C-alpha cells in the first residue's frame, strides 16, 4: 500500500504536464468547408465543429440573427469575425480553446450621412450617391479589465485585456444609370482607404486587431423582369 502512495507524486506531474503541452501547441484549425449564410446558432455550431473551439454565449443574443457567409480557408479569428459581421456581436478568448461571444458595447458616438441625387438625360436616369460613417473611439472590454497597453502586458499575460479602439471615418459612393429595365452601377467603399481597427483583443495571448475592410470597387449590372 505504501508503495502505491509513494508512486502517485511521481506520476501526477507527468499526467498534468502532457495536456498543458498539447494545449499550447494546438492552434484552432482553418475552415475546410464554406459556412453559408444561415441562422446564427446553426452557423456557430458549424464553425465550432470545424475549428474544435468551444463557444460560450447566451442563446438569446443569437436568436433571430443571421450569419454572413464564410469561405473555406480562413483562420478561426477571421472566419468568426466575418460570420458575426453586422450582428452587433463580438468575441473574445477565455482560453486557447474556448471563445465567449457577447454583445458589442456601443460606441459613445456614431454618425451616418447619406445623400443621393437623380436627374434625367434623354431616356436615361443617372444617379449619384455619397455617404460617410463615423465611429467614435470605444473600448473592447469593461473598464475593470487590465490595460492591454501597460508595460507588463507586452506580450499579453491574459486573454482578458482592455484596449481602446481609435475612432475612424469611412466614405462610400456610387454612380449609376437606369434605362428601361436595366441598371448599371459602380460602387466604392472605404474610398479614403482608411486603416482602422474594428476590434482589438488579446486572444491566444497575442494582441490582434481586426482591420476595417480596405478600399473596394464593385460594378453591378441588373435587369428587372
Q: For residue range 73-132, list pLDDT tens digits in order.
A: 988 888 998 898 878 788 888 888 888 898 766 666 789 999 999 999 999 999 999 999
Residue 12 and residue 117 in one domain: no
What span, in angstroms and rounded, lies between the C-alpha atoms of 204 and 149? 16
Instruction: Name which of 30-39, 43-52, 133-142 the model is least confident about.
Output: 133-142
What span, in angstroms and rounded, lies between the C-alpha atoms of 52 and 98? 9
Q: Is the pLDDT of residue 34 over 70?
A: yes
What span, in angstroms and rounded, lies between the C-alpha atoms of 205 and 160? 9
Residue 115 and residue 209 in one domain: yes
Task: Write out the E strands in 168-207.
Answer: 168-179, 182-189, 197-201
| pLDDT for 193 | 95
Residue 96 and residue 59 in one domain: yes
Q: For residue range 142-194, list pLDDT tens digits in order.
A: 677 789 999 999 899 987 788 999 999 999 999 999 999 999 999 999 999 99
Asked whether the beta carbons of 123 and 106 are under 8 A apart, the reply is: no
Q: Which residues contact 20 (CB under 8 A, 6 or more apart)?
A: none
Domain boundary among 52, 77, 104: 104
Residue 122 and residue 216 in one domain: yes
> What residues pair up with 118 in beta bridges, in sequence order?
127
Asked whether the beta carbons of 208 and 77 are under 8 A apart, the reply is: yes
Residue 60 and residue 153 in one domain: no
**How many domains would you assign to the chain?**
2
178, three cell numbers: 437606369
Domain boundary among 89, 104, 119: 104
Domain boundary among 80, 104, 128: 104
Residue 8 and residue 56 in one domain: yes
Asked whether the beta carbons of 201 and 140 are under 8 A apart, the reply is: yes
Residue 154 and residue 201 in one domain: yes
**Better-predicted residue by pLDDT, 9 or 80:** 80
What span, in angstroms and rounded, lies between the C-alpha atoms of 133 and 114? 9
Q: Give the domain range for residue 83.
A: 1-104
Residue 87 and residue 112 in one domain: no
Q: Beta-carbon neighbour count of residue 168 at 10 Å?
A: 18
Residue 78 and residue 113 in one domain: no
Residue 135 and residue 159 in one domain: yes
Amino acid at each position: 500500500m505504501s508503495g502505491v502512495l509513494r508512486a502517485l507524486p511521481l506520476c501526477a506531474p507527468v499526467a498534468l504536464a502532457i495536456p498543458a503541452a498539447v494545449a499550447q501547441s494546438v492552434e484552432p484549425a482553418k475552415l475546410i468547408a464554406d459556412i453559408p449564410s444561415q441562422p446564427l446558432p446553426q452557423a456557430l455550431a458549424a464553425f465550432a465543429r470545424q475549428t474544435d473551439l468551444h463557444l460560450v454565449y447566451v442563446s438569446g443574443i443569437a436568436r433571430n440573427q443571421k450569419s454572413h457567409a464564410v469561405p473555406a480557408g480562413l483562420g478561426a479569428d477571421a472566419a468568426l469575425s466575418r460570420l458575426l459581421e453586422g450582428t452587433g456581436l463580438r468575441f473574445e478568448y477565455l482560453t486557447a480553446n474556448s471563445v465567449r461571444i457577447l454583445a458589442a458595447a456601443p460606441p459613445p458616438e456614431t454618425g451616418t450621412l447619406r445623400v443621393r441625387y437623380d436627374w434625367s438625360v434623354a431616356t436615361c436616369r443617372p444617379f449619384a450617391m455619397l455617404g460617410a460613417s463615423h465611429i467614435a473611439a470605444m473600448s473592447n472590454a469593461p473598464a475593470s479589465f487590465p490595460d492591454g497597453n501597460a508595460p507588463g502586458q507586452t506580450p499579453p499575460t491574459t486573454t482578458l485585456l482592455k484596449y481602446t479602439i481609435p475612432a475612424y471615418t469611412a466614405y462610400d459612393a456610387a454612380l449609376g444609370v437606369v434605362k428601361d429595365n436595366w441598371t448599371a452601377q459602380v460602387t466604392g467603399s472605404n474610398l479614403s482607404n482608411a486603416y482602422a481597427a474594428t476590434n482589438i483583443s488579446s486572444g491566444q495571448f497575442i494582441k490582434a486587431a481586426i482591420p476595417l475592410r480596405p478600399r473596394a470597387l464593385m460594378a453591378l449590372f441588373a435587369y428587372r423582369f
